[in-house]
Chain A
C-alpha cells in the first residue's frame, strides 16, 4: 500500500459488492415475484439479471429483492418497480433481456417500458 489512490480503489471496489447491505428508505426497489409459479416461469435468471445489470452500471440506491406470489400466476415472472414518490410499476413475463432494458430505460432514464407492463397485456 503506497498511496491513498490505492486505498480508494479498494474502497470503491468493495463498496460496490456491499451495496445490497444499504436498506435506505429512499432506495428504488425492484421486487421479483419468487413464489413457486415465478420460479417455474424463470424468475431466478431474471432476478440475477437485475442484480448483474445494476452492478455493471454501478447504480447506487437501487435494491433488488424478492417477494412471494402476487396472484397473477399466468403472467409470471412478474417484477414490480418502486421508485420513491412515484406509483408502482408492474412488469409481466419478464425475461433477462427485458430486465436489462427495464434497468436502462426505467431505472436509469426514468421512462417506464410501457409495452412490458401489466397494463399492455390487459388490453
Chain B
C-alpha cells in the first residue's frame, strides 16, 4: 500500500520537455531514500495544460507542480515526499491560496471544462488495464454483449445525438446502422487516428492517456454492426501513442477482453494496428482504407460508401478516435445524459487543441455551445503580451477562421457552418494583431499543395495555381482582378475535387477572403502588409530623431546594410536589407520601425 502517488505527465508535450528523465530521476531519488515501498510513481497521459509542462501531481495532497526540471527532483523528494513540505516555488500559481492549495478543478483552466473523452487522461496509468477497469472500464462492453441487442446499441448511439468528431459531423448512430444493415461474411471496424492537421493533437492525447477506451468502443461497434475485426490506423509519428495502444491491446487480449467469446457471450473481436507513413490524405477514409489494404494511399470516389464496400471490399464502419472515446460512457450513462450536454443539434463535448498566441497552450474539452470567448479568454488565459485578438483558425488546413467580432458565437457544428467556418477536428490556433491573414492562408495552402496526392487535377493543379496567386499577393505583384480569380478558382477546386482533402483545401483562403478581404486589398492596392509579416512588402527604417548613434544595429546587421558614424543617426540601405529584423530587436531606443 503506497501512502503517496506521484503522477507525472508522459504525453508527447511533456516528454519533449524531458518528463521521462524526471521520472527516472524521481525513481532513483526515491530509492536512494528507501521510500520505494511508500511512494508510487505513475506515468500518465496528457493533463491538458501543456504550456506548463512538464507537469507533476503529488497525491494525497493533490498539489500541482508545473515546469518541473530534472534538477528540481531531489528537492521535491527530500522536502515534499520525505518531510511533507510542499515546494511552493514550483506550485502552479493559480492553485496557491493564502494558507492552502486549491484543487486543480477550481483553476480557471479546468473550471469551465467538462471532461468526457479526456476523463481518464492524466488520471490513470494508461499502461495498466486495472486502473482503466477501476474507472468503470469495459463495463459498457459487458453491458452491450450480455444485456443489449446490436439494434439497441445502435439506437442508444443514435439517441445520444453523437456526431463524428473528425470534422465531418455525420451522425454516428446513423453511420453504424448503415454498416449493420449490409450483410456480408466479414465486416470491419476502423479507427481513424491519422491526425494530421497542424496544431491538432486531441486524438494522440486520448490514445496516449486512455488507450483502452478506444479498444472498448471499437469492440462495442463491432458487436453493433456485426464485425469481428478492427483496425486502428495511426500515424507512425506518434510513437508513444502506438506503444501504449499496443500495450493496451496485449493486456486486453490477456484478460480475454479481445479475442474469442468475450464475456462468455459468443462474440469474437480482434484488433490490429496499422501505421501510417505520414501522408495527410490518408486521413481521408477511402485513402485510409486503401493504405490499410497495403496499397498506395489514394482516395477513391464515393459511392460506394464504406458501409457498403469498404476495407477489403467489405462493409466497414469508420470513426475518428474522439468519436469512439465517447461511446463507452454513452452506453453506461445513457443517451439522455449525453444529449443533456451541448446544444440541440450538437450534443456532448468537443476537445480543442489550443495553440498559437495564447497563454495556456494545451488541450481543453468543453460542452458544445461554449463560446469562443470563453475558450480563449477564460480557459486559455487570453493573449499574451497585451496584444489584441484578431482571429481563431479552426480545423487546420481544411478549416476556416473566426474573426474577433464573431467571438461570441456558440461553437457547434451548425453555427460554425452558418458563419462560413467549420468545426474541423478541433485544432484551434489563436492569432493576434501581428499575424497576417494572407500569410496564414498561404501557410495552410502550402501544406495542402504539398500533401495533395495528385490523383485528381482540381486538387493537384488547382491548389498549386492558387498558391502562385497567393505568392503574387504577398509579394505585392497582384491586381484586384487576381483576387476575383483566386476566389473563383477556390470555389472550383472545392466543388470538383475527388476527396475531402481537395474539397476543403480552399477553405482557409475562402474564409480569410470573406472576413479579411481588406487585408488582401492592402497587399494588392497599397502594397502593404498591415501586420508587418510579408517580407517583400516591408521596409525597416531608422527614425532619425530617436537614433542615438550607438552603432549596435550596424554591428548586428548580418549583411552590412546599416551605415552611420558614432553618435550620429544611422541609415538602412533598403537595397541590401534582407528584412531579418535583427536590428529592430537589438535597438534599445525603439528607433527602428518596420512599415
A residues lining the B interface (CB < 8 Å): 1-4, 7, 10-11, 13-15, 17-18, 20-21, 23, 25, 32-36, 39, 47-48, 50-52, 55, 63-68
Would you call B3 and A64 a contact (CB within 8 A)?
yes
C-alpha spacing A48/B38, complex, angstroms: 7
Would you call B60 and A7 a contact (CB within 8 A)?
no
Find the A residue at minimum CB distance from B259.
A1
Asked if B560 is an interface residue, CB under 8 A from chain A, the answer is: no
Would you call B59 and A36 a contact (CB within 8 A)?
no
Find the A residue at minimum CB distance from B61.
A65
C-alpha spacing A14/B129, complex, angstroms: 10
Would you call A23 and B60 a contact (CB within 8 A)?
yes
C-alpha spacing A3/B130, complex, angstroms: 15
Would you call A34 and B84 a contact (CB within 8 A)?
yes
Are A14 and B133 CB-contacts (below 8 A) given A1-B262, A20-B3, A39-B82?
Answer: yes
Q: Is the interface of B mostly helix, strand, loop or mixed?
A: loop
Are A68 and B142 CB-contacts (below 8 A) given A1-B256, A48-B38, A51-B1?
Answer: no
Would you call A2 and B133 a contact (CB within 8 A)?
no
Find the A residue at minimum CB distance from B35.
A44
Asked if B517 is an interface residue, CB under 8 A from chain A, the answer is: no
Give the chain A neighbours of B133 by CB distance below 8 A: 7, 10-11, 14
Give the chain B neighbours of A14 by CB distance below 8 A: 130-131, 133-134
Would you call A20 and B4 a contact (CB within 8 A)?
yes
A6 to chain B, nearest CB (A): 9
Would you call B103 and A51 a contact (CB within 8 A)?
no
Are A21 and B142 CB-contacts (below 8 A) given A14-B133, A66-B83, A66-B84?
Answer: no
C-alpha spacing A26/B132, complex, angstroms: 25
Which of A15, A21, A52 lies in contact with B5, CB distance below 8 A?
Answer: A21
B56 to chain A, nearest CB (A): 13
Q: Which 5 residue pairs across A and B have the least CB separation, nearest first?
A: A66-B84, A23-B62, A14-B134, A63-B60, A34-B84
C-alpha spacing A21/B59, complex, angstroms: 5
Q: Mark B36-61, 1 if CB is under 8 A from A, else 0.
A: 00100000000000000000000111
Which of A3, A18, A50, A52 lies in contact with B264, CB distance below 8 A?
Answer: A3
Which of A10, A55, A66 lies in contact with B1, CB distance below 8 A?
Answer: A55
C-alpha spacing A67/B79, complex, angstroms: 10
C-alpha spacing A39/B412, complex, angstroms: 56
Which of B3, B84, B134, B256 lies in contact with A18, CB distance below 8 A?
Answer: B134
Find the B residue at minimum CB distance from A51.
B3
C-alpha spacing A36/B84, complex, angstroms: 10
Would you call A23 and B103 a contact (CB within 8 A)?
yes
A2 to chain B, nearest CB (A): 5
Are A10 and B60 CB-contacts (below 8 A) given A1-B255, A66-B84?
Answer: no
> How many residues does chain B have at the interface if contact means C-beta atoms less than 8 Å apart?
32
Would you call B131 and A35 a contact (CB within 8 A)?
no
Asked if B518 is an interface residue, CB under 8 A from chain A, the answer is: no
Give the chain B neighbours of A47 by CB distance below 8 A: 3, 38
A-B pairs with beta carbons under 8 Å apart, 24 shown: A1-B138, A1-B255, A1-B256, A1-B262, A3-B263, A4-B139, A4-B142, A7-B138, A10-B130, A11-B133, A17-B2, A18-B131, A20-B2, A20-B4, A20-B60, A21-B59, A32-B84, A34-B84, A35-B84, A35-B85, A51-B3, A66-B83, A67-B85, A68-B85
Give the chain B neighbours of A52 by CB distance below 8 A: 1
Find the A residue at minimum CB distance from B258.
A1
Give the chain A neighbours of B146 by CB distance below 8 A: 4
Find the A residue at minimum CB distance from B83.
A34
Are A11 and B1 CB-contacts (below 8 A) given A1-B256, A65-B84?
Answer: no
Asked if B136 is an interface residue, CB under 8 A from chain A, the answer is: yes
Asked if B438 is an interface residue, CB under 8 A from chain A, the answer is: no
Asked if B257 is an interface residue, CB under 8 A from chain A, the answer is: yes
Are A10 and B134 CB-contacts (below 8 A) given A1-B262, A65-B84?
Answer: yes
Would you call B83 and A36 a contact (CB within 8 A)?
yes
C-alpha spacing A79/B262, complex, angstroms: 49
Find the A residue at minimum CB distance from B129.
A10
Find the A residue at minimum CB distance from B104.
A23
C-alpha spacing A1/B1, complex, angstroms: 26
Give the chain B neighbours of A39 by CB distance below 8 A: 82-83
Would you call A20 and B5 a contact (CB within 8 A)?
yes
C-alpha spacing A63/B5, complex, angstroms: 12
B111 to chain A, nearest CB (A): 15
C-alpha spacing A66/B84, complex, angstroms: 5
Would you call A15 and B262 a contact (CB within 8 A)?
no
Most chain B beta-carbon contacts within 10 A, residue among A13, A14, A64: A14
C-alpha spacing A100/B285, complex, angstroms: 61
A54 to chain B, nearest CB (A): 8
Give the chain B neighbours of A1 by CB distance below 8 A: 138, 255-257, 262-263
B210 to chain A, nearest CB (A): 15
A11 to chain B, nearest CB (A): 5
Would you call B130 and A13 a contact (CB within 8 A)?
yes
C-alpha spacing A70/B224, complex, angstroms: 60
